[in-house]
Amino acid sequence: MSKVAFQLRYDGPALDDHGMDVADLAPALLALGELIKRANFAVNGDASKVNLIVQSDFEHKCFQVNLELVQSILSTIGSFLTDEHALKNAQTIANWLGLIGVPTTAVGLFTYLARRKGKEVESVTPLPTDQTTISTTDSHGTVAVKFKGDGDGNTVIVNQNVYLLGEDPVVRDYAAKVVSPLKRQGIDTLQFNPQAPEKGVLITEPDADAIISGRAEGSGRGNV
């Protein structure tokens, strides 16, 4: 079994009294749970399952939820595995999604989708391991993604699994639902891992707009 704990915090003047409309929160948490399951299946197939456990916690002038991602190896498949780490564990998946913070040149899924802003991918260039500070233990490694219309030539560096998840319209839809509470008046930010601000991913209203606008964007896969 593999597990990792993280926090999710919605903040803004509408949450000063510690309350949040269940019509906003429930779909967002359900979408996050489904996003995690889809990411786990994408990299591990049927070899493991994941559950998102909620442990509520209410901070002053915000709404924070403590969560735990729990991954279990299925017994019928696990018996054939000689090394549990052949699977992508809970911490690795959480890191790719941007739910926990690890200083690196690569960004997680939510940051990637916010920077993408619904644009099509122009090119995807694999990077040698020595050109990035991220440690990769899988065969995919890290890639530099350039979007169409970025005249300045800027690229975004992600693990290739993050890029592939970003090409999945179902994943983009789940991500949009997670950030959708920021469309409500008085809810300004969403932060993952707020207990360590230097590592946590902060999503603002413009970021949420970019993620939501890209939810229906067609696959624009470049050549890897």
Question: 110-127, pLDDT tens digit by residue?
Answer: 999 999 988 889 999 998
169 vs 47, residue with greater confidence: 169
How far is residue 44 CA from its own chain's centroid? 16
d(CA 23, CA 38) in angstroms, rounded, equals 23
The average confidence (pLDDT) of the chain is 81
3-state secondary structure labels for all residues of 63-89: EEEEEEEEEEECHHHHCCCCCHHHCCC
What letter does residue 157 receive in the DSSP assignment? E
What are the backbone dihedrals phi and psi of residue 95, each rounded to the nearest 5 degrees, phi first?
Answer: -65, -45
Q: What's the confidence (pLDDT) of residue 66?
A: 85
pTM of the model: 0.83
